[in-house]
Amino acid sequence: MQTNLAPEFKDLRAGTEAEAIVRRCVHCGFCTATCPTYQLLGDELDGPRGRIYLIKQMLEGAPVTRSTQQHLDRCLTCRNCETTCPSGVEYGRLIDIGRELVEARVPRPQGEQALRWLLKTGLTSPAFAPALKLGQALRPLLPRALKAKVPPRAGARAHRWPTRSHPRKVLLLLGCVQPALLPNINSATARVLDAAGIQTLVADEARCCGALRTHLGDGAGGLADMRRNIDAWWPLVTGVTEHGKVEAIVVNASGCGVAVKDYGHALAHDAAYADKARRVAELARDLSELLPDIAAALRGKLRAPKARRLAFHPPCTLQHGQRLRGGVESHLRELGFEVEIAAAEAHLCCGSAGTYSILQGELATALRDRKLAQLQPLDAQAIVSANIGCIQHLQSGTTTPVMHWVEALDEVLND
């Protein structure tokens, strides 16, 4: 797609990067067929090709309007279009650039500004955990919509961490909301890895991966989160602590995994962090990438599963962002589970998409219900996924238990 950058963007790194991405688009429209928001709304501007046109027009100096902002806001950043695109358009990167440029040019209504500020600061703040505890205490009194966002308090097992040491060691990113919202995901990860002979280490200073602020149009804030995490991890990456070097940085939320694997690209322009960011990205592994080792170590050592029949929802950030498909299902089957994915639309987003389910509630709910309708015929005893956002969002629409696949595996460990 031919693009002629306006003068204001010619010397801007984001502008030249966006232009290079736009130029790869050949107008084919394959992306619209797999875009969740286009399928719901039927508007070309609410599909990838239409949003690319809007960003192209901005780069060429056309006025940027509130309408432009709203169409970009409605994108889930699910990156299904990237899987479909025959030309390799890096749409996920382009939409982040587009949002940041529009954010600087179009003022939002005060209510939107306040909500987005609260999400950026509140979800990544140390105050989130005590605020959640208060919400859990008041949960019976909360309105239904808010109650669905507040899970019950976790049991004692969710805070039980293994204490054994192993020669093999990995770093685990705990995340910003996961330790408070669904703490059992992290502790189950540590227990399963421990059972497989792998020790889990944590750098307390590492928190939000940077995706939350980046997707809300705060690129500088996202980069600051990335630099903080790199600083926190670097001693264990280089082996200057008593623990020695770690072999990988493990991420058990696929949305965060996409972000960490992109650190090298995101900070390539930063002379102080470029090499470190590239090294961190090289070490980043989704937890499912360790499943071959885990399955080999645990085969024949597990109790029979209580929830043997599982429906697996592959998050967009796993199947489209990280291009990891089939590994979770195949290895869980090896370990005694019956695992199926939806017969139709398994590639489509469930509507969670980070803060999307809060900012675009109507669309998110429609996509959630559509996803659950596709999973229902599997008649599963539990739904498993690989991302906290998907898990929490799907659980808000069903009485079937929804959990991380590692929690299902943790339940059958011979402790």
Residues 111-168: tens digit of each pLDDT: 999 999 999 999 988 888 888 888 888 888 777 777 778 888 888 888 899 999 999 9
Angle of helix 48-59 versus helix 66-73 axis, rounded to 10: 140
| Residue 70 scores a pLDDT above 90 | yes
Give the model's pLDDT for residue 390: 97
Instruction: Compute, in degrees rounded to 10, the torsion defined by CA atoms 368, 374, 380, 385.
Output: -50
Full 3-state SS string of the chain = CCCCCCHHHHCCHHHHHHHHHHCCCCCCCHHHHHCHHHHHHCCHHHCHHHHHHHHHHHHCCCCCCHHHHHHHHCCCCCCHHHHHCCCCCCHHHHHHHHHHHHHCCCCCCHHHHHHHHHHHHHCCCCCHHHHHHHHHHCHHHCCHHHHCCCCCCCCHHHHCCCCCCCCEEEEEECCCCHHHHCCHHHHHHHHHHHHCCEEEECCCCCCCCCHHHHHCCCHHHHHHHHHHHHHHHHHHHHCCCCCCCCCCEEECCHHHHHHHHCHHHHCCCCCCCHHHHHHHHHHEEEHHHHHHHHHHHHCCCECCCCCCEEEECCCHHHHHHCCCCCHHHHHHHHCCCEEECCCCCCCCCCCCCCCHHHHCHHHHHHHHHHHHHHHHHHCCCEEEECCHHHHHHHHCCCCCCEEEHHHHHHCCECC
Contact 102, 217 (CB under 8 A): yes
Share of the chain above pLDDT 70, in %: 100
Which residues fall within 8 angstroms of residue 11, CB to CB, at 6 or more apart?
Answer: none
Give the model's pLDDT for residue 224: 97
137 or 77: whose pLDDT is higher? 77
Q: Which two tokens stand for residue 302?
A: 């597990």
What is the β-pairing status of strands 284-286 and 198-201?
unpaired
Give the amino acid at 218. D
Q: What is the pTM for the complete model shown? A: 0.94
Least confident segment among 138-142, 226-230, 272-276, 291-295: 138-142
| Residue 415 scores a pLDDT above 80 | no
Give the model's pLDDT for residue 227: 98
| C-alpha to C-alpha distances, 238 to 164, 270, 323, nearest whole angstrom | 22, 20, 28
| Residue 295 scores a pLDDT above 80 | yes
Q: Which two tokens stand for residue 25?
A: 């688009």
| Residue 270 scores a pLDDT above 90 | yes
Query: CA nearest 200: which of 211, 215, 190?
Result: 190
Average pLDDT score, the chain: 93
Give the model's pLDDT for residue 262: 97
Q: Which two tokens stand for residue 122?
A: 């509140």
Neighbours of 27 (CB within 10 A): 9
Residue 82 CA to residue 324 CA, distance in Å, equals 14
Give the model's pLDDT for residue 267: 97
